[in-house]
Amino acid sequence: MNVAYGSRVAAIGMLVLAAGLVAAAEAASPSAEQALRLAPVQPRVDYAKPNAEETADCKIHARKIDGHVGWIVESPDGLPLRKFVDTNDDNVVDRWSYYKDGLEVYRDIDADFNGKADQYRWFHTGGSRWALDKNEDGKIDAWKTISAEEVTAEVVAALANRDADRFARLILTAEELKSLGLGQEKSAELAEMIGGLRAAFGKLAAGQRTLTAETQWLQFSGAQPGVVPAGTEGSTRDVRVYENIVAIVQSGDQPGQVQIGTLVQVDDVWRVLTPPELAASGSADVAASGVFFRPSVVNQGVTDAARSEEADQRLLADLEKLDQEAAQATSPEQRASQVGRRADLLEKIAGQVRDPQDRAMWLRQLADMVSAAVQSGEFPEGAKKLQTLVAELEGNEADKDLAAYFKFRQLTADYGLSLQAEDADFAKIQTQWLKDLQQYVTDYPTAPDTAEAMLQLAIAQEFAGQEEEAKKWYAETVKGFPNLPAATKAAGAQTRLNSVGKTIELRGKSSTGGIVDLAKLRGHVVLVQYWATWCEPAKRDMAALKELATKYGPSLSIIGVNLDNNPTDLAKYLAENRLPWPQIFESGGLDSRPANQLGILTLPTMILVDQQGKVVDRNVQTAELEGALKKLIR
C-alpha cells in the first residue's frame, strides 16, 4: 500500500462528521493543518501545498456542499485548497477534493462508502481522466475516461517505469474490438495486433535505457483525429482514430520522442493498438504505414518529432524550447512574440523537408496556430501573414489543396479580427463574411472546409429568417460532403426545419443511467428543452416549466437535453436545483449526438410534441407555452 493511500485510510476517522450537522461538525472540526496533511491516493498530482507559514493562516470550515455536510480548507486569501464531503449522509467523508489556483484538479471517491477510495478523477488543469480501482488497493485497475493526450502520457510513464500492467490498461480489449463494428478482415488484423502488444511492450521496456523514472511527458504531437466511416471495408459504425501519434518527452536536459502509433476511441476512452517505439529505434519507418489510413495521409498533422530526420535539428530544438517557454508568456506582447516566432520556425522547417506531405503538415500547423491566435486577439498581425502565404500557395498549382486550407483560415481570422474593432459595424461585417464564404465555395467546391463554409451560410440564413435559403445550403452540405461532421449537423437541421406535423426521433442516455426515449411518451404532450448550465435564459425558463408540469400533471411530460461539455456541471446544477423530469446527456456539448440529431444551433431551443408524437412547434417560446398547451390538453 502506498504512503498516500495509507495516510488516507488512517485519516478517515479524523474527518468523521459528527451527527451530520454543520454546527456539530464545526464543534468537532479538525485543524486546517491536520486536513492539509492528507494527500491524493494517486501520485504526481499537481495541487496546492501551502508551506508551514501559509498553513498556519489557513482556515477550515464545516459547510453544506451540494446539499451535504463537508469540510472546506481555505488559503489565507480565501481560495479553496481542499474539500472533504459526506455525499451519502452517513457522517463519514467519502469524497476528497484537491485544488490548485482555486480550481479542483483531483478527487478521490469512495463510491461504495466503505472507507476506501475506489475511483480517482482529474479536473480542470489536472486533466480529464477518470480511473477505477476495483480492489481498492490504491492502484488503477481500469480507465472509465481518458483522452488521447493522456494515453500518450500513460504510455511514457509505463515505459519509464517498466510497468507492463500500466500499459496493459491502455490496450484495446477483445470486447471493445467487437463493439467497434469493423469488418471481418480488419477485426482479424486488429485482434492479431493487440494479442502481441503486451509482449512487444515488455521487450522494449526491458531493453530501453532512454526513459527513466525522472522522464517528463511534455506534449502530445499528432494530426487531428480522423473518422473511418461506416461502410469502410464492411464496417457498421463510424470509428474515430488517431494515426502516427508522437509523445514529446524530456529526460533531464535531453529531449526525446516516443512514437505511440495508432489510437482508437471507444466511448470516453482512447485505446492503444500499436506498440510504442523510441525515436532512436527507427520508429518513423514502423509508423509510416498506419493502421487505418493507407496510404498514410496522417503525416499532414504529425508535429516536430515525427520527421526530425528530415528537418534541421537546430530548428526542431528551437521549436521545442519555444513550446516549453509558452507557459511563461503572460503579457499580450509576450504571447504575440511567441506566436510570431513559432510561425517563422514552422515556415522554415516546412521549407527544408523533402516530402510534400511533410511540408503540407508543417504548413497546416502554421495556418491553424496563426488563425486561432488572430481570432483570440493575441496575434492580430498574423492576418497579414496568412494573406501573404495564401497568395504564394495560390500561385502554385501543386499547392491548390494547401491554398484552400489556408484561405479558409485566413477568412476566419479576418472575420474574427474585424469583430474586435472598437467601431465595428456588425451588419457590414456579417454581410462581407457571407460574401467571402460564398466566394470560397465557388473557388474551392471540393475542399473539405467548403462543408463548413456551406454550414455557416445555412446557419446565417436560418438566423436571418430565410429558411428556404437555409434549407438549400443545408442540403448542399449533406449532398456534397456526406461523411464530414458538418453534414451531420446540416442533416439534423434539415430534419428540424421540416419537422412540424411530423414525428421525430429523440432517444439518448439519461444523466442518471438508462435511456430516455420520446417514443415511449406517446399519449402525452411532450416539451423537449435543449439547454446548458451556462445558458441563463434556459435556466430562467425552468421556473415556468416547473409550474406547467405541476398544473398539467401527467398530461404533460418534459424531457431535458443538456448540452454542457462537462457532466460535472450538470450534476452540480441538478444537485442544487431539482428538476422533476429526465435529462438526456451525452458528451460533446453543441456537437454531441443529441444536438446534431436535430441540428441544434442555439440555446435555449424548445420543441413541442403532441400526443401522437408529431411536432407542433419546433421553436416554442416560454410565453407561448400556456396557450399552446391549452389547445392540446383539454
Residue 412 lies in a domain: no
DSSP H/E element including 108: strand 103-109
Q: Looking at the predicted structure, is the pLDDT value of residue 309 above 90?
A: no
Cis previous bond, 604, omega within 30: yes
Number of domains in the chain: 2
Residue 108 lies in a domain: yes
Does any domain span residue 369?
A: no
**What is the pLDDT at residue 326?**
67
pLDDT higher for 349 or 300?
A: 349
Q: What is the pLDDT of residue 407?
A: 96
| 3-class DSSP assignment, residue 588 | coil
pLDDT tens, position by position, 507-522:
999 988 889 999 999 9
| Res 279: pLDDT | 64
CA distance 562 to 497: 21
351 or 318: which carries more pLDDT confidence?
351
Residue 429 pLDDT > 90 = yes
- Cα 200 from Cα 149, distance rounded (Å): 22
- Residue 272 falls inside a structural domain: no
DSSP state letter for 341 = H
**Cα angle, residue 226 at apex, residues 281 and 412 outer, rounded to 5°:** 115
Q: What is the mean pLDDT of residues 305-322?
A: 63
Q: Where are the beta strands (DSSP E) in 57-102?
A: 59-65, 68-74, 80-85, 95-100
**Domain annotation covers residue 238:** no
Q: Is the pLDDT of residue 624 over 80?
A: yes
How many CA within 13 A on the CB side of residue 134? 4
Cell numbers found for residue 298: 496522417
The span from the first CA to the last CA of the chain, in angstroms, equals 66
Has this prediction a pTM greater than 0.85?
A: no
Distance CA 117, CA 138 (A): 7
500 pLDDT exceeds 70?
yes
328 belongs to a structural domain: no
DSSP state letter for 119: E
Q: From 145, 180, 205, give the residue that closes a domain.
A: 145
Lowest mean pLDDT among 112-121, 295-304, 354-363, 515-524: 295-304
pLDDT over threshold 60, residue 306: no
Of 145, 175, 200, the residue that ends a domain is 145
Domain for residue 157, yes or no? Answer: no
Give me the CATH number covering residue 557. 3.40.30.10
Which domain does 97 fall in, by range? Answer: 3-145
For 171-225, what is each residue's pLDDT tens digit? 999 889 999 989 888 888 899 889 889 888 988 888 888 898 888 898 888 778 8
Query: Does the pLDDT at position 21 exceed 70?
Result: no
Q: What does the pLDDT look like over 346-405, one tens digit per residue?
A: 999 888 877 788 888 889 989 999 998 899 888 999 999 999 999 999 988 889 999 999
Over range 262-290, report the average pLDDT. Answer: 73
Report which of 213, 227, 349 is spatially closest to residue 298, judged by C-alpha positions.
227
Of the pLDDT bands very low, low, confident and very high (cuts 50, 70, 90), residue 2 is: very low
pLDDT at 515: 93
pLDDT of 468 over the 90 cut: yes
Average pLDDT over all residues of the chain: 87
Q: Residue 76, preceding bond cis, omega within 30 degrees?
A: no
Residue 545, Ramachandran bin (φ over 0: left; ψ between -120 and 50: alpha; else beta)? alpha
Boundary (domain end) residue, out of 86, 119, 145: 145
**Residue 327's pLDDT is what?**
62
Confidence band of 63 (pLDDT split at 50, 70, 90): confident
Mean pLDDT of 122-143: 93
pLDDT at 29: 61
Residue 294 scores a pLDDT above 60: no
Mean pLDDT value across residues 115-122: 94
| Helices 448-463, 485-497: crossing angle, 10 deg rounding | 30
Q: How confident is the model at residue 271 (pLDDT cuts 50, 70, 90)?
A: very high
Domain-embedded: residue 389: no
Cell of 198: 503486451
